[in-house]
Amino acid sequence: MSVEKSHITIRIQVKGLVQGVGFRPFIYRIAHEHNLKGWVENRNDGVIINVNGTHDEVEQFINEIRSKAPVASNIHSVKSEKIDHEKFQEFKIVKSENTSEAITDISPDIAVCDACLEDLKKQAHRIDYPFINCTNCGPRFSIIKDLPYDRDKTTMDPFLMCDTCRKEYEDVLDRRFHAQPVACSTCGPEYELKIGDKSIQSFGQILKETCNLLENGKIVAIKGIGGFQIACDAQNEKAVNNLRNRKIREGKPFAVMFANAETLQEFVYLFPEEKKSVQSWRRPILIAQEKKKLAPGVSVGFNSIGAMLPYMPFHHLLFEKLNIPAIVLTSGNLSDEPIVINNDDAVKELTRIADAVLIYNREIYNRTDDSVVFSVNEKERLIRRSRGYSPEPVNLNQIVNGIFAAGAELVNCFCIGKGNQAILSQHIGDLKNLETLEFYEESYERFKKIFRAELSLVVHDMHPDYLSTRFAKDLNIEKIEVQHHHAHIASCMAEHDLDEKVIGVSMDGTGYGDDGHIWGGEFFICDLADYQRFNHFEYIPLPGGDQVTKEPWRTGISYLYKFYGKEFINIDLPFIKAIDRAKLNVIIQAIEKNINCPLSSSAGRLFDAVAAITNVCPVSKFHAEAPMRLESVANAGIDFGYPFDLGNVVSFESTIKAIVEDLLDGIDVAEISAKFHNTVINVIFALASQIRIETGINKVVLSGGTFQNKYILSRIEKILEKEGFEVYSQLKVPSNDGGIALGQLVIAAKLRKL
Ligand code: ZN
Ligand code: ZN
Ligand code: FE
């Protein structure tokens, strides 16, 4: 029997995120290893491979497509079929005919891979070279200026490849075949450490000096992948406090980078899925439960740590030499401005915070903050979607082409629709200052250009004063406005391909309502096109308007006033006694005379009020601090709640009165907090059940910032599921306002069709 006869020809289709991640060279290499002939090509609907080989060879080849795929690829399906026998001379990569579709795929930045870490120790031209990368790892989105993704369209353009790198780049069997940022110590970018007027350029010296500074409690600004970061010893309280003081108005917990996975597990408890998240090639910051204490100033009283692992070659090289297990690594910015990405700005501005600035001479084009995730019910959830995640599209089952969704105001992300893909921008930030608005406008222009977006429709929040709304209104295309909480629910629906009537529960901080009031404790019966407000939390005046987010005590007073009248001032609570009488009277007058007292049904404000009344957090130093503190003190072992009243609205009169009684009885805040959380859970369950009875709808969609509360989300999901509801919560996109743009996008697509 001839060898040729035992050969079969198979056509394989691979779907998923397989473009811009070195997938075709990977296929080429494994085909070569298995002695298969044929070709691979990028098509609109994935990668197509035709191969010729023996049955066993082909079968093994197909298995390896899944088992050995490039780390940043995400294979949804591999389908193969036998086709008419064809004869091939060799295996080749067919140049993609359709370039229009290839442009939608830009890989997020990828943490340095294990093979490169090994090369760091043995490749002569890359010994300890801090910009090592390959087709499986390295910078992507942060350096890409335009598509197609070639070196001259990245910020690697000024670096001329040396002969050695060029050979690797051109050798299809090399791991660096067409790795656009390929570089080595002869031809690639270089670090430079600036300490005052001193400049250090030898990398060995830089490492030594950086270690020296950090080990001696100094603060160093370090250029990262997507922007500058500020580092100090995470076990040195003096250094941490210095950093906090120099970063004006910084009250948030700091993120921490640990030397390696083993060290990380000395300091935090990790569930298997958390381990997977924090070690993934995306290398996000994981909010994990603290096991061993760092400097108290790092976590500012929370029992969790925002933990991450090294992701740049530099981080690995640093920890090899550093006699410190963990460093604070926080965003390199002044208070609320976007993180600094440019060397000159860093030297000018960050020297106010840092004792030294570590720069390198490759430009960061697209700013990306570190992403932040947490895990609830064994699933990874996003809090901030940026480096390592953006601009990976969210695939939808509807066409959203040509739509621009402007997003909300806080933790803004915008979104561009391309075919059936939602391309969310990286985390832009709070659109409250000029610098952030400029970042927003610049990113909008870049996304439009890079993704070749022909925009014909813009969708924005109903809030007239959001800068994103104003920006949208100035665009000269058709406009649609969407209610904030409808967008939250739709965002979650989009993630789960839902296009039908659902029970929408939006528990959130704020959001402009149809009636001009501030919504945020909302129960909707809704689909993508429309919503009906079935019930909501009772309106409460917010004395001082926006000021209440920084001063939860105002909302606390407002709740007490509502349920007790003026007499509340005589209640014997430490919270009330601590407030200056004159100030108290001003607030009471403001409420009585309705001066700057917008009405709000917000869940976030209810949490604020309880955090204030219990004296857990009357004043807030950062966004959502009060609800976070209240959650962190809750005693997880208590499973009953307080009474509440369901009528035309959800009234918490009995709840607040019971909390006050408990406080007067000297009940521990840990118990009060747990009972309060349980009350909110019971309210959600009661209303979901009521809606199901009235409408027969069984799908519950949970979104809004309050669902970043682990206590609430973990329990409500389980309770609803136990009672037979189909429950949907956000996974790929944040349930806070960072996910709003996705919801806006799908609503606009739906309305456009109607
Ligand atoms: Zn690599
Ligand atoms: Zn080179
Ligand atoms: Fe919101």
Query: In order of start, what are the domains of the chain with their CATH numbers?
Result: 3-93 (3.30.70.100), 106-189 (3.90.870.30), 191-360 (3.90.870.40), 393-482 (3.30.420.360), 540-728 (3.30.420.40)
Task: Say which residue the tokens 């087709």 belong to.
Answer: 135
Nearest bound ligand to the CA of residue 736: 3
User: Amino acid identity, residue 678?
Assistant: N
Do 444 and 741 meet the contact criterion of CB atoms below 8 Å apart? no
3-state secondary structure of 317: helix
Neighbours of ion ligand 3 (CB under 5 A): 508, 737
CA of 716 to the centre of ligand 3 (A): 19
How far away, in angstroms, is 705 Cα from ligand 3 center? 6
Residue 126 and residue 155 in contact, taking contact as beta carbons nearer than 8 Å? no
Residue 423 — φ and ψ, nearest 5°? Answer: -105, 105
- Burial (CB count <10 Å: 0-12, 13-18, 19+), residue 670: middle
Which positions ≥6 away from 367 have C-beta within 8 Å? 142, 226, 227, 338, 339, 341, 426, 439
> How many Å lie between the centroid of ligand 1 and the Cα of residue 47?
22
* Ligand lying closest to the C-alpha of residue 183: 2
At residue 29, φ and ψ (nearest 5 deg) are -65, -45
**225 alpha carbon – ligand 1 mean position (Å):** 15
What single DSSP character describes residue 90?
Answer: S
Residue 362 C-alpha to ligand 2 middle, in angstroms? 15
CB 57 within 8 A of CB 36: yes
Rounded CA-CA distance 529/513 in Å is: 17
Tell me the three state secondary structure of residue 185. coil
Rounded to the nearest angstrom, the distance between the alpha carbon of 67 and the centre of ligand 3 is: 40
Site of tokens 């064809």: 86
Across the 754 residues of the chain, what is the mean pLDDT of every consecutive 10-residue run?
A: 69 83 87 92 83 91 92 87 91 72 72 97 98 95 90 96 97 90 98 97 98 98 98 98 88 96 98 97 98 96 97 98 98 90 96 97 98 98 98 94 97 96 96 95 97 95 96 97 98 98 98 97 98 98 96 98 96 96 96 97 98 98 96 95 98 98 98 98 98 98 98 98 98 98 98 86
Rounded to 10 degrees, the C-alpha dihedral 47/53/54/60 comes to -40
With CA atoms as reference, report the closest residue to 583 among 556, 610, 564. Answer: 556
Ligand in closest contact with the CA of 408 = 3
Q: What is the pTM of this model?
A: 0.95
Of 23, 36, 42, which is closest to residue 91 (Cα–Cα)?
36
For residue 4, the model assigns a pLDDT of 54
Residue type at 511? G
Output the CA 177–ligand 1 centroid distance in Å: 11
For residue 182, report the distance from its CA to the centre of ligand 1, in Å. Answer: 10
Pair 129, 162: CB distance under 8 Å: no
Q: Can you give 248-278 as a three-state secondary structure string? A: CCCCCCCEEEECCHHHHHHHEECCHHHHHHH
- Token pair 């743009």: residue: 741
User: Nearest ligand, CA of residue 182?
Assistant: 2
Q: Which ligand is nearest to the CA of 159?
A: 2
Q: What separation in Å is there between the alpha carbon of 175 and the centre of ligand 1?
A: 8
- Distance from C-alpha of 737 to C-alpha of 467, rounded to nearest angstrom: 14
Contact 601, 523 (CB under 8 A): no
Integer Cα distance of 103 and 87 in angstroms: 32
- Which H or E run includes 40? strand 37-43
Distance 706 CA to ligand 3 centre (A): 9
**What distance in angstroms lies between residue 45's CA and the mean position of ligand 3's atoms?**
35
Distance 511 CA to ligand 3 centre (A): 6
Q: Give CA–CA dist 490/312, Å, rounded.
A: 36
**Amino acid present at 228:** F
Expressed in angstroms and rounded, the spacing between residue 104 Cα and the centre of ligand 1 is: 23
- In this structure, which ligand is nearest to the CA of 739? 3
Distance 577 CA to ligand 3 centre (A): 33
* Residue 73 alpha carbon to ligand 1 centre in Å: 14
Q: How far is the CA of 116 from the centre of ligand 1 (A)?
A: 4
Q: Tokens representing 504?
A: 């929408």
CB atoms within 10 A of CB 64: 17
Rounded to the nearest angstrom, the distance between the alpha carbon of 607 and the centre of ligand 3 is: 15
Residue 411 Cα to ligand 3 middle (Å): 10
Question: 313 C-alpha vs ligand 1 centroid, how far in Å?
Answer: 10
Q: How many CB atoms lie within 10 A of CB 399?
A: 15
How far, in Å, is the centroid of ligand 2 from the Cα of 522? 58
Q: How far is the CA of 248 from the centre of ligand 3 (A)?
A: 26
| Span from the CA of 132 to the centroid of ligand 2 (angstroms) | 10
Ligand nearest to the CA of 135: 1
Radius of gyration of the chain (CA): 27
Strands 372-376 and 285-290: parallel
Question: Which ligand has its closest atom nearest to the C-alpha of 118?
Answer: 1
The Å distance, Cα 198 to ligand 2 centre, comes to: 28
What is the whole-number distance in angstroms between the Cα of residue 110 and the centre of ligand 2? 20
**Burial 422-435, CB ≥16 within 10 A → b, else e:** bbbbbbbbbbeeee
Q: How many Å lie between the centroid of ligand 3 and the Cα of residue 238?
A: 37
Ligand 2 midpoint to CA 164 (Å)? 6
Token reading at 634: 């809750």
Q: Is the dihedral of CA 571, 575, 581, 586 positive or negative?
A: negative
The gap from C-alpha 560 to its chain's centroid, in whole angstroms, comes to: 36
Query: Relative to the alpha carbon of 124, which ligand is closest?
Result: 2
Does residue 391 have a cis peptide bond before it, meaning omega lies within 30 degrees of 0?
yes
Q: What backbone phi and psi angles, to 5 degrees, belong to 622? A: -150, 165
Tokens of 727: 């429950």
Q: What was the pLDDT predicted at 5?
A: 57
Spacing, Cα 223 to ligand 2 middle (Å): 22
How far does residue 363's CA lie from ligand 3's centre (Å)? 34
The whole-number pLDDT of residue 515 equals 97
Q: How far is the CA of 715 from the centre of ligand 3 (A)?
A: 21
In angstroms, the CA 113 to CA 120 distance is 11
Q: 130 C-alpha to center of ligand 1: Å?
A: 12
Span from the CA of 67 to the centroid of ligand 1 (angstroms): 17
Q: For residue 735, give the ligand nearest its CA.
A: 3
Name the closest ligand to CA 133. 1
| Sheet of strand 531-536: strand arrangement | 531-536, 521-526, 502-507, 699-703, 726-728
| 177 CA from centroid of ligand 2 (Å) | 13
Cα 167 to ligand 2 centre (Å): 9
The Cα-based distances of 420 to 46, 387, 660, 674, 748 in angstroms read 14, 23, 52, 43, 13
> Which residue type does 569 have?
I
Taking only the tens place, the pLDDT of each residue in 93-117 is 887 665 554 445 788 999 999 999 9
CA 509 to chain centroid: 18
Concatenated DSSP letters of 99-135: HHHHTT--PPPBPPPHHHHHHHHH-GGGTT-TT--BT
CA 222, CA 248: separation in Å to the nearest integer? 19
- What distance in Å separates the CA atoms of residue 720 and residue 731, rounded to the nearest whole number? 18
* Cα 169 to averaged position of ligand 2 atoms, centre (Å): 10
Strand 74-83 vs strand 650-651: parallel, antiparallel, or unpaired? unpaired
Q: Compute, in angstroms, the gap from residue 322 CA to the centroid of ligand 1.
A: 23
Gap from CA of 185 to ligand 2 centroid (Å) = 6
